[in-house]
Structure 1
Amino acid sequence: MRAAISLAVLAITTVLAWPMAVRHAAVAGEADLPDVWTALRAQTFGDRPIAEEDGMVTLDAPVTALDAAVVPLTVHIPASVRGRPKSLTLFIDQNPDAKVATLTFGPAAGAEGDRFFNTRVRIERFSHVRAVLETEDGMLHMATKYVQAAGGCAAMNAKDPDEERKGLGRIQVKAFPPDEDGGPNWTGQVMIKHPNSNGMQMDIDSGGYIPERYVKDVSVRRDGEEVFSLDATFSISTNPAFRFSFGKGDENELEVTIVDTDGETFEGTTGPDGAQDS
């Protein structure tokens, strides 16, 4: 009981001791945010032009997140965008690591119809969230949303880390055919049980910090052809989940390989015609 009370007091003290500048940044208005995008853009894309809000890519995100540790993001590529996209990079400007993930698309990603990618992320403070798409012609296009969320990266873990590690690496992979009038693309879903610890989260039992360990690389293939490869950072939420479109193949079997920062590899697959492998 005393240990629990001590940890509760520690948590309250930590919040109260949170530097004023950080607290201000967490609740700052959109116009008050520090400009990190200018440097981030130059570092990532050099002096390449980026077309903003031109309809080639759109981003769905909540205006206010109910849980800053699990914020849904969905990127859409409309059917009007012809050809296979080259890459998609997600950013959260004010996160400790602003780059969330980069997807590099393969031949099975689909070159027509509506396409999308969905995942869940952590947001540490109020921030612009960006999706930058590189189309087949090498041009860059960006969609941006302002999301009000705070504390998602450093949120205390209320669960026992040892319990959380049970079943680590268990993967669920599913594939769904399009509706009758739903266009040419299938939908894939990948979920993995993984704490995705970022080294900033406090262990409620010990009062220390949970060591960093998160999903780093994800490879998804359809019938042996690459749908996408993903290079991720710790901004992806606990128990990473990805939902995405992919081009129709012969068997539509998805094969998934995931590697975390400890170098451990996890694999999962669906059966022929998208039936889930047991």
Structure 2
Amino acid sequence: MSAATTEHVERPAWMEKPKPVTQGAKGLALVVTVLVVVVPFWVVFATSFAPDQQVIDNGGYALWPDTWTLRAYDLIFSGGQITRALGVSAGITVVGTAFSLACTVLLAYALARPGVVGGKPVMLLILFTFLFPAGMIPSFLVVNELHLRNTYWALFLPVLISAFNLVVMRGFFQGIPLELFESAKIDGANELRILLTIVLPLSKAVIAVVGLFYAVGYWNDFFRAILYTDQSTMWPLQTWMRTYVVQAQSSMVQVQGGVNEQIQFAPQTVNMAVVVLATVPILCVYPFIQRYFTKGVLTGAVKS
């Protein structure tokens, strides 16, 4: 047997079999991380269903309700404000995400095609806005001059296209082989048909990821409603959640009979109930696109 075959070849450090101590430390770190993430969610969920007296006795929180009650949810739904806010948030999220995805796909496809007239200056302008955003006052002046204040358009048009999402999607489109475009043009397909029949079916991952980014942004936003609207009936759920959390006290609640009554309650139960309502929709959507998340982000970030 030759010396070459008997010589011990050391593997790189990242290929070495981990020691039991290392595996145990990794497992412990994973358990701690999961607890840090899961426990706050459970506390919020449990507190929203806990009786008021238990929450007050425990200092504002409950790890497990003595009796499960829907009083906090009945309270916030009794006046119809939260119900309307849920509808506003859902509408803004769906419509805004659809418009944003359509505009981002069209612009990213145009900037990804080689030889587009003015493509580089437009891309530099987009990157400039990404590094140096306009700010609150110029945005407010633009919305006001366009007569968009106190309209739902003001809640998504000012942020219709995200420069980051555009760069990610453009990088993904640039990774598609040019031979596919050339063969389609030989068959007589125009740019719109190439986009619809070739590019979009191959881009499900990045579209799902960018759509999630847009949807989460629209769903979680509360500040634009305060900035651009004077009517509380137009507020989305997140703005009402901010109101409940900031006030954190007994408030006048519009009951179904149309009479304002002073209702004493533990404010934490109502705050947590609103948080649950604001969090559950996104948690329900995310599992369906989780498999696209890593692929879409990493593939779109290969090129810029």
Instruction: Return the TM-score normalized by structure 2.
Output: 0.23
Task: Return the structure number with greater strand share.
Answer: 1
Task: Return the structure number with greater helix share.
Answer: 2
Instruction: Return the TM-score normalized by structure 1.
Output: 0.25
